[in-house]
Amino acid sequence: MFDFTDRELKTAHDIRIIGAPFDGTVSFRPGARFGPAAIRHASDGLETWSPALNADLESIHYADGGDLELPMGDVALVLAIIREAVDECLNDGATPFLLGGEHLVSLPAIEAVFDRYPDLVVIQLDAHADQREDYLGVKLSHACVMRRVCELIGYDNVRQLGVRSGTRDEYTLMQRFQTQACLREESLAELVDWIGGRPVYLTVDLDVFDPSCMSGTGTPEPGGIDWWVFQRFITALQGCDMVGLDVVELAPQLDPSGCSSVLAAKAVREMLLMAGS
Amino acid sequence: MFDFTDRELKTAHDIRIIGAPFDGTVSFRPGARFGPAAIRHASDGLETWSPALNADLESIHYADGGDLELPMGDVALVLAIIREAVDECLNDGATPFLLGGEHLVSLPAIEAVFDRYPDLVVIQLDAHADQREDYLGVKLSHACVMRRVCELIGYDNVRQLGVRSGTRDEYTLMQRFQTQACLREESLAELVDWIGGRPVYLTVDLDVFDPSCMSGTGTPEPGGIDWWVFQRFITALQGCDMVGLDVVELAPQLDPSGCSSVLAAKAVREMLLMAGS
Amino acid sequence: MFDFTDRELKTAHDIRIIGAPFDGTVSFRPGARFGPAAIRHASDGLETWSPALNADLESIHYADGGDLELPMGDVALVLAIIREAVDECLNDGATPFLLGGEHLVSLPAIEAVFDRYPDLVVIQLDAHADQREDYLGVKLSHACVMRRVCELIGYDNVRQLGVRSGTRDEYTLMQRFQTQACLREESLAELVDWIGGRPVYLTVDLDVFDPSCMSGTGTPEPGGIDWWVFQRFITALQGCDMVGLDVVELAPQLDPSGCSSVLAAKAVREMLLMAGS
Amino acid sequence: MFDFTDRELKTAHDIRIIGAPFDGTVSFRPGARFGPAAIRHASDGLETWSPALNADLESIHYADGGDLELPMGDVALVLAIIREAVDECLNDGATPFLLGGEHLVSLPAIEAVFDRYPDLVVIQLDAHADQREDYLGVKLSHACVMRRVCELIGYDNVRQLGVRSGTRDEYTLMQRFQTQACLREESLAELVDWIGGRPVYLTVDLDVFDPSCMSGTGTPEPGGIDWWVFQRFITALQGCDMVGLDVVELAPQLDPSGCSSVLAAKAVREMLLMAGS
Amino acid sequence: MFDFTDRELKTAHDIRIIGAPFDGTVSFRPGARFGPAAIRHASDGLETWSPALNADLESIHYADGGDLELPMGDVALVLAIIREAVDECLNDGATPFLLGGEHLVSLPAIEAVFDRYPDLVVIQLDAHADQREDYLGVKLSHACVMRRVCELIGYDNVRQLGVRSGTRDEYTLMQRFQTQACLREESLAELVDWIGGRPVYLTVDLDVFDPSCMSGTGTPEPGGIDWWVFQRFITALQGCDMVGLDVVELAPQLDPSGCSSVLAAKAVREMLLMAGS
Amino acid sequence: MFDFTDRELKTAHDIRIIGAPFDGTVSFRPGARFGPAAIRHASDGLETWSPALNADLESIHYADGGDLELPMGDVALVLAIIREAVDECLNDGATPFLLGGEHLVSLPAIEAVFDRYPDLVVIQLDAHADQREDYLGVKLSHACVMRRVCELIGYDNVRQLGVRSGTRDEYTLMQRFQTQACLREESLAELVDWIGGRPVYLTVDLDVFDPSCMSGTGTPEPGGIDWWVFQRFITALQGCDMVGLDVVELAPQLDPSGCSSVLAAKAVREMLLMAGS
């Protein structure tokens, strides 16, 4: 029973939640625009206390900045509005935590964060590589977002976990640049070593979860992770310097049971506790 | 039990069905992209014979051109692709019949038809005025489509039927230009008189129907028409010179019963029979 | 809040409810097998009192005989089991009231009743003519059931109300034999005159209702009747000699709101009160 | 696209919206607790302008007081909390407008209003009489709420419109006290005459609408009104002295299309415009 | 394909199934009242034979006592009715097996059983601690039920398995009294040792399962057990002296696939076989 | 994003996909008739590349023969039509790959294949034994299909994997003939040894998957396999001589999330790659 509203920013270590309800480039099944509202609603049924992290949201400084008003039909304008909101958040000394929306919303956020932190590393949890050059001729698409991110910050500074789908070309690319990492316990230790003291942007495409846990997403892909693998990952990253986070691609209307929204809200809770304490 | 596939074009009076599965500017609830597939699927459960029109699809020359491949995320490109397909259809001497998709897909179709028929009149069935100057700064939006059409062909050449929702400004505009017409029997006779021998483009936004009949649409508006009012309208227009048609804004995933898709398919059948015989 | 269970047969004028959960010949969308259970369940939310008929189920002698066990995959056996159950009901001096199941279940019931009442007339409420010679080569199909009935008892002894869909051939047939009747008030008086003192079997295919009222049916057809037209029809028939009734083609899983099941249960209530008092 | 939040109270003629998300006595199908949130959400897709009333919400002084926190499982405490909120609203000189929740939430609201306005009349739109003495021994139930209201303010001061379901006893009661009124145009004029200058509390149980328009309600009852009958009723009441209003029994999860919530939100808009201008 | 109905009680070792369709204190999402009916319905699709337990329901003496009629809106009365039914069951020498309904229905059942078996131990499978002192001021709530049970029979006599959610206070409490046990194989052996020869009441809150297996529950919590962990638990308990059982918190309308109801029915089958043979 | 349509047969090693949309003997919940269409639709959201098999559909020779037109209500005719289609496929030198439909559709396919390959072995993945002698007196039922297959080709030539449900008699039968095999890694090696060089027909009843992965099936059975177990099985069988395949019992309307259809489409992809390369 936590909720994001009515919390005030207090210190420079605060986290600001920013809803980015956009799904305009989704090719298969839209609805990620309803993600932020569903996460807020589902958070009502969860406790503030995390037994796994031994921590409570009551002790974390975060605030919900509400949803951005994003004009469907004008992708460039949408990205500019998100960029501006993240810039403002950083100017205020707060860490941005985006709630998507589709995965493309991560791009302007990462651009803004990279501007401040030139040694940024990006950690991606995702079922899909998102490494296409373009999709039906469109380069600013949720199917291409990590390609754009890699072009911006360099393949060397990106790690992709949970990827199990892509074209042959995308797999060739990932192998050439060795961007893929593994979620096994020993691999997570290596990942944390690799990060070192560098600032981290963590982007979680919820389709990294198996569709059995997360049916409410536009492009489900069988063979994903379960909750405890995610929990272990979050625990492993405690202590890293998180400078930006997002959770994207929840399409709640595809899951009438509401369980996907509950899982997304719990993921947000654990990420807040990991980044904020 | 009719279906659109595997029919060949035969004469200059043929009708070509063109699927336009785009919903990229929809602000409230997306899903109109699934409209064409749902209409085709639902047509399986309907007869080819219309008792009301005393006519049979078996006697009509029409063909299904399938769906256009439309890149979500690039509205300008989408509109260009539709425009090209409608131009090609007209070049082949066929009458275009679009299946949306959102209402914005009507714009390039009407532009193409207007190019050939400068004395074109447009008849709109719709719950909403669609006369906004822009929506959140976007001028090419389904909320503005009839404003763009009126700017193109002149307010004098447009009639709007079934409208029951709009801003105060939109109502002022409709009153100034007297674009609204009524679906009562006597008013339909006036409408047909007003059309005279001029070529007609008929655009049917399915939300003109009451939500009780058509729950599967993005922006339902209580107080709409039922099937028999629509049937009467179609019967009244028999004999008019139809040079373009569309049926838009079916969002089938919002209606798990499938009845909205059945109604849409039946509307398409009646429109084919009215325009093609 | 009435329910069908635990009622005992008392007199020769009793009505026996027989569930016939079969949908094996349904071509488009199955699920009518779940009809009887849904009607029973929905009856929990309705009163026993009918303000329109000024009568109460508490005063009617009827009993629920439960559902027949019908082996999907063997149509001939299914029809034989239904026939036997209706014969047994008639032998016990009770009036059969079937809950379908698809419309084909009416055939063995009408056969059994016709055996006792050679001057039987059949009144059909239905969206579809059901007058096909065969469907994909199958003659015992829900699309052909009234053709079989007419062959059995003669076209002259059948009246069809609410029909709005059929092939050209079916319409030709209905016109030749003048089987169609109308639901307007004055036409209902003519219908009752035509019946005279003859025994009546009433078969109600629920798709006679408009899909707005009855979305939970396999083959919805826009343009149907609403509740009050049905109520007027039932009131008009009070006093006729009902010797058999059925309500068929409820497919409840197609209507997640449950309203179709409630309407079906209310229709059953009114028919029980009309036939039993 | 109106929304209830972030509006400030300005004058003594203001209206205050109070969410009462309680459904603890619902016997058949719960879910009315989700009504207030669904109405707020659906209001996003509606205009502020009403063509029927020629009025705009922008000109009305109203505010959304948010939802009360109501402890399921303690009916007495729930009623006390609602009573206190309505008292506070009246103390502030504002008119209460409750969003239910089940119909029982009207009782404490009417008690509070009656305390200030001893000549109060109550107008009820409803499918059900709600005149039971008790339900399974429980006297504070949504099935008994109007009995309790009538006992409080006197049967003479209550009018019930749209009722089409009840027990024989409830109908006897309504006939004895002549509480039923009709929604035909001429009857509405009589109703307004009967009201005269007296203060009015209007309670709208949304199941007064036909299930085709309003499938999202716990106890749907076939044979109800459509939108235009409601619109005519609202128009007729313009000019009456409204001192309390509510809209109850929306159970949105029963209507996956969302159309019931849209209708409820539009009803709230028209009632705000009727009462506030 | 087993079903609960029409079985007769024969010996003192019989089990009696008692439906307790109550969800009046559920704070988040109601619907557990539909649990008993859904379990009965789903049992139709399951075999009577359990390969895991090598046993068949045909050999077990159990009977279905049907559902209690529970008045929503009067929690005290509901608890008294359940208490009376369980007392009667025990008086008849049968073991009670409740089908919830929400978790609060376990309280009167445990009270009745504890009255007969003062050395009772209670084993709880649950995602939530249910150890709150009160919930929004209400002490008889499904969020507090195990606190009430512990107060009654002593913390020492309770073991909680599968708990993964609670407030910080609840976790402190569970640690102080060491009520938590683990579902690993070796821990199950310890559990059975701890039980010794004492009589056992087993209460299974179905949300102990991961939401991927059990989406149809009011408060799903990611990170739960799967079927085989449950099966192993049941196998481990064979031979214990079961004197009361329940399965609670199935909310079937939240899972349109029906898989949650099937899992619940299979859990009931295994528990019947474990307790009855 | 692969799709089955518009691919041409090229060589004798081609695979031909044949849709068999029949569910006429399904006893519990119908809908498998919608399986083929759902698999085709879901295949749009998947890549052609399989990282697990290191292979691409672009390199495989297969074609989609579309759906057979199967007359519900005449099982014998349905089986004859399927038989004829598979015979024709084999005559053309192609390998049949059926998309069900219910499991009974495997029978005529196996008959046709067995006619050509008298040393055929059949591998069945399934939750249920399907070894009943008859079901409610019907011998050609999806509950009996493997009994019929075993009678045809001999129990010695059948292996059943994933079975976890059956009657006591079915389990006795399976133990007598030792038809059950295991999906553990080492057991798969034994299975491949057992196959040797013999031709294989692989029939996959999708309910072999756990309901958490595959809720869209008529008779879900808790305790099934997950994606990776299936993937391992497919990898193990690479190199075997596949002469026939099918995927049956997807009932997509039971899974509103669409994830079951996606899993089924991905299973088809892996099986195509395994059999075709």
pLDDT in tens, E39-50: 999 998 999 999
Q: How far is C273 from chain D (nearest CA, A)?
A: 14
CA atoms within 13 A on the CB side of D246: 31
> What's the average model confidence in pLDDT over E255-263?
97
Omega prior to A101 cis, within 30 of 0: yes
Interchain pair F213, A222: CB under 8 A:
yes
**Strands in chain F per DSSP E:** 15-20, 49-50, 55-56, 62-67, 95-100, 121-125, 158-161, 180-181, 199-205, 241-248
Beta pairing, strands D55-56 & D49-50: antiparallel
Residue F119's pLDDT is: 98
DSSP state of D126: -
> In whole angstroms, what is the distance from residue F207 CA to residue F220 CA?
6
Question: Residue A39 pLDDT more than 90?
Answer: yes
Domain coordinates of chain D in residue numbers? 15-276
- Do the Cβ atoms of F272 and F60 come closer than 8 Å? yes
Model confidence at F84, pLDDT cuts 50, 70, 90, reads very high
| C65-98: b (≥16 Cβ within 10 Å) or e | bebbebbbbbbeebbebbbebbbebbeeebbbbb
Plot region of E136 (φ>0 → left; ψ -120 to 50 → alpha; else → beta): left
CB atoms within 10 A of CB A238: 14
- Angle, CA of E215, E220 and E223, to the nearest 5°: 100
Write the pLDDT tens digit of every residue in F92-121: 999 999 999 999 999 999 999 999 999 999
Model confidence at E10, pLDDT cuts 50, 70, 90, reads very low
Write the pLDDT tens digit of every residue in A69-103: 999 999 999 999 999 999 999 999 999 999 999 99
> In whole angstroms, what is the distance from residue E212 CA to residue E204 CA?
17
Considering CB atoms only, which of C166, C222, C223 is closest to B47?
C166
Secondary structure class of C200 (helix, strand, coil): strand
Give pTM, 2 decimals. 0.95
Interchain pair E138, D71: CB under 8 A:
yes
Residue E13's pLDDT is: 55
Give residues with Cβ within 8 angstroms of B219, minimum separation 6.
B28, B29, B127, B128, B207, B249, D45
> What's the average model confidence in pLDDT over C30-35?
97
Question: Which residue(s) pair with C49 in the sheet?
Answer: C56
> In whole angstroms, what is the distance from residue A198 CA to residue A214 CA?
31
> In whole angstroms, what is the distance from residue E59 CA to residue E71 CA?
36
| A163-197: b (≥16 Cβ within 10 Å) or e | bbbbbbebbebbeeeebbbebeeeebeebeeebee
- Do the Cβ atoms of E204 and E125 come closer than 8 Å? yes
> In whole angstroms, what is the distance from residue D130 CA to residue B135 CA?
45
- Do the Cβ atoms of D250 and D216 come closer than 8 Å? yes
* CB interface of B with F, residues 11-70, below 8 Å: 37, 41
> What's the average model confidence in pLDDT over B144-149?
97
Interchain pair D257, B216: CB under 8 A:
yes
Q: Which amino acid is at C47?
A: E
Q: Which amino acid is at A251?
A: A
| B46-60: b (≥16 Cβ within 10 Å) or e | bbbbbbebebbbeeb
Selection from B162, B172, B114, B102 nearest residue B138 by Cα:
B102
> What's the average model confidence in pLDDT over C79-101?
97
Cβ neighbours of F24 in C, within 8 Å: 24, 72-73
Query: D256 touching A, CB under 8 A?
Result: yes
Cβ neighbours of E26 in D, within 8 Å: 72
Tokens of B243: 């040079």
> In whole angstroms, what is the distance from residue B271 CA to residue A118 CA?
60
Residues lower than pLDDT 50 in chain D = 1-10, 12
Model confidence at F27, pLDDT cuts 50, 70, 90, reads confident
For helices B259-276 and B227-237, angle between their N-to-C axes, nearest 10 degrees: 10
- Do the Cβ atoms of B214 and B206 come closer than 8 Å? yes
Query: F80 touching C, CB under 8 A?
Result: no
Question: Residue E185 pLDDT more than 60?
Answer: yes
> What's the average model confidence in pLDDT over B217-239?
97
Tokens of C108: 């063995």
Write the pLDDT tens digit of every residue in B162-193: 999 999 999 999 999 999 999 999 999 999 99
Secondary structure class of B48 (helix, strand, coil): coil
* Chain length of chain E: 277
- φ, ψ (nearest 5 deg) of residue E157: -105, 20
Cβ neighbours of B256 in F, within 8 Å: 256
CA atoms within 13 A on the CB side of D1: 8
State percent of chain E over pLDDT 90. Answer: 93
- Do the Cβ atoms of A263 and A34 come closer than 8 Å? no
> In whole angstroms, what is the distance from residue E271 CA to residue E201 CA?
12
Selection from E190, E147, E188 nearest residue E167 by Cα:
E147
Right CATH for F15-276 from 3.30.1490.20, 3.40.50.2020, 3.40.50.2300, 3.40.800.10: 3.40.800.10
Nearest CA in chain A to D37: A41
In a mutagenesis test of the E interface, which of A46, A47, A56, A270 is the best target, namely the one with the most E β-carbons within 10 Å?
A: A47
For the purposes of burial, counting CB atoms within 10 Å of the CB of E220, is it exposed (0-12), middle (13-18) or buried (19 or more)? buried
Cβ neighbours of E41 in C, within 8 Å: 37
Chain D to chain E Cβ contacts (< 8 Å): 56
> What's the average model confidence in pLDDT over C27-32?
93
Question: Residue C256 pLDDT more than 80?
Answer: yes
Write the pLDDT tens digit of every residue in F230-250: 999 999 999 999 999 999 999
> In whole angstroms, what is the distance from residue F208 CA to residue D242 CA?
63
Give residues with Cβ within 8 angstroms of E99, minimum separation 6.
E17, E18, E19, E20, E35, E36, E39, E246, E247, E248, E268
Write the pLDDT tens digit of every residue in B79-111: 999 999 999 999 999 999 999 999 999 999 999
Ligand-binding annotation for A207, yes or no, is yes
Model confidence at B257, pLDDT cuts 50, 70, 90, reads very high
Q: How far is F259 from chain A (nearest CA, A)?
A: 6
- Do the Cβ atoms of E150 and E179 come closer than 8 Å? yes
Secondary structure class of F148 (helix, strand, coil): helix
Secondary structure class of C109 (helix, strand, coil): helix
Q: Which amino acid is at C230?
A: F
Secondary structure class of A90 (helix, strand, coil): helix
CA atoms within 13 A on the CB side of C220: 33
Question: Residue F275 pLDDT more than 90?
Answer: yes
Residue D29's pLDDT is: 94
Model confidence at A13, pLDDT cuts 50, 70, 90, reads low
Q: How far is B246 from chain C (nearest CA, A)?
A: 19
Q: What is the ipTM of this complex?
A: 0.94
Question: Residue F9 pLDDT more than 70?
Answer: no
Interchain pair B75, A71: CB under 8 A:
no
Interchain pair C29, B258: CB under 8 A:
yes
Residue B97's pLDDT is: 98
Query: A256 touching D, CB under 8 A?
Result: yes
> What's the average model confidence in pLDDT over C31-42?
97
- Do the Cβ atoms of E15 and E272 come closer than 8 Å? yes
DSSP string, C154-179: -GGGEEEES--B--HHHHHHHHHHT-
| Dihedral of the alpha carbons of A34, A38, A41, A46, in degrees to the nearest 10 | -160
Q: How far is D48 from chain B (nearest CA, A)?
A: 7
Percentages helix, strand, coil for chain B (3-state, rounded to 5) are: 40, 20, 40
Nearest CA in chain C to E255: C256
What is the average pLDDT value for chain A, to the nearest integer?
94
Beta pairing, strands F180-181 & F158-161: parallel
Residue D91's pLDDT is: 96
| D113-146: b (≥16 Cβ within 10 Å) or e | bbeebeebbbbbbbbbbbbbeebbebebbbbbbb
CA distances to D7, E39, E212, F115 from F213, in Å: 46, 21, 8, 35
Query: C256 touching E, CB under 8 A?
Result: yes
- Cα Rg for chain B, rounded, in angstroms? 17
Residue B277's pLDDT is: 78
Percentages helix, strand, coil for chain C (3-state, rounded to 5) are: 40, 20, 40
Ligand-binding annotation for E205, yes or no, is yes
Question: Residue E3 pLDDT more than 70?
Answer: no
Residue E277's pLDDT is: 78
> In whole angstroms, what is the distance from residue C39 CA to residue C263 CA?
9
Q: How far is D171 from chain C (nearest CA, A)?
A: 8
Give residues with Cβ within 8 angstroms of E84, minimum separation 6.
none
Write the pLDDT tens digit of every residue in E194-246: 999 999 999 999 999 999 999 999 999 999 999 999 999 999 999 999 999 99
